[in-house]
Amino acid sequence: MKKELEALWEEVRELSLGNSTEIDHLNSPPTPLQFLRDYVSQNKPCLISSATLHWPALSSWSQPTYLTQSLSASPNVSVHLTPHGNADALVPFPNPNTNNNNNLCFASPHVQQLPFREASHLISTTTNSDSNSNTQKAVAYLQQQNDCFRSEYSALSSDCDDHIPWATEALGSLPEAVNLWIGNHRSVTSFHKDHYENLYAVVSGVWRVCIGAGKACECTVKPGQILYLPSMWFHHVRQSPDAGGRTIAINYWYDMQFDIKYAYFNFLKSIQYRSIHDPTLLETASKDTDTESDCDSIAYGFKDEFSANGSVENLVGGSTKEE
């Protein structure tokens, strides 16, 4: 069965990307027809340059005080705190009853509501600290998702488009969610897939997106560019910050069509395979894992310390006030 699955993956990859390790790069936004015909219908990613050059955000958001001043009257924002900056992720979860250290647990970050000024300072503090030292106990990342740009950051709505016109026309709907991401060099999005047609627009800094598995390719997304990532494509994101120590991006989630590729995915997920922990056992890729609520306080042990202190100062090794 393993041989057959590997052959299936190779065929799918060749149909989507050919034999290249690079995705298509368009010098300007496509027409709705071109986007639908050449990329959406073929389930094929692409990188589009000169896609957001008209956004005021490209010139204003990298300024040191612009975001802080623009969001000064807004409610608190959601700051995601983790030990290593890897957002939602599988983490080791030792079982004390069996001495088995190979168990994995899906852990979500600890989320704290803070004024944007303090949240931005935490990200800068993480950037300027040594990741190998003991002075930095948590990595801050603004990655709330759940349409956060149109809720927590609505004061910035005039700085960029509320949807991508050529994508909206091609896909036949407005985006289900628009999300803002602000991180630094330690902010990492683990290997995952989304049930959305995904358009990433980088505003400041650089995103490095590893796409696919096996013979994967890496795409560098710079300010002014949009990466189209079709639904159900696995990807992993790393970041390189700008001169101010931050990487800023917006992504647009459009509803996917639950068509035959979704049926294929569910079929593959249900196939039994030999457990890597115990070859005598059979598992399926759809086996349930621990819930987020069960895992996050265990995997990210600083949560209890955070709650007890009621402050992030002990987590980041310094004051949260802007200097």
- Checking if the pLDDT of 321 tops 50, the result is no
pLDDT score of 148: 96
Portion of the chain with pLDDT greater than 90, in percent? 47
pLDDT score of 293: 35
- 222-242 pLDDT, tens digit per residue, is 999 999 999 988 888 999 999
- Checking if the pLDDT of 298 tops 80, the result is no
pLDDT score of 142: 94
For the segment 29-40, the average pLDDT, to the nearest whole number, is 97
pLDDT score of 296: 34
Q: Which residue has the tokens 């987590």?
A: 315
For the segment 108-135, the average pLDDT, to the nearest whole number, is 77
pLDDT level of residue 263 (50, 70, 90 thresholds): confident
For the segment 97-123, the average pLDDT, to the nearest whole number, is 85
Q: Which residue has the higher pLDDT, 16 or 178?
A: 178
pLDDT score of 224: 97
pLDDT score of 16: 63
Considering the domain 23-87+115-259, what is its CATH architecture?
A: Sandwich (2.60)
pLDDT score of 257: 83
Extents of the domains making up the chain: 23-87+115-259
For the segment 193-221, the average pLDDT, to the nearest whole number, is 89
Q: What is the pTM of this model?
A: 0.78
d(CA 186, CA 195): 26
For the segment 126-131, the average pLDDT, to the nearest whole number, is 52
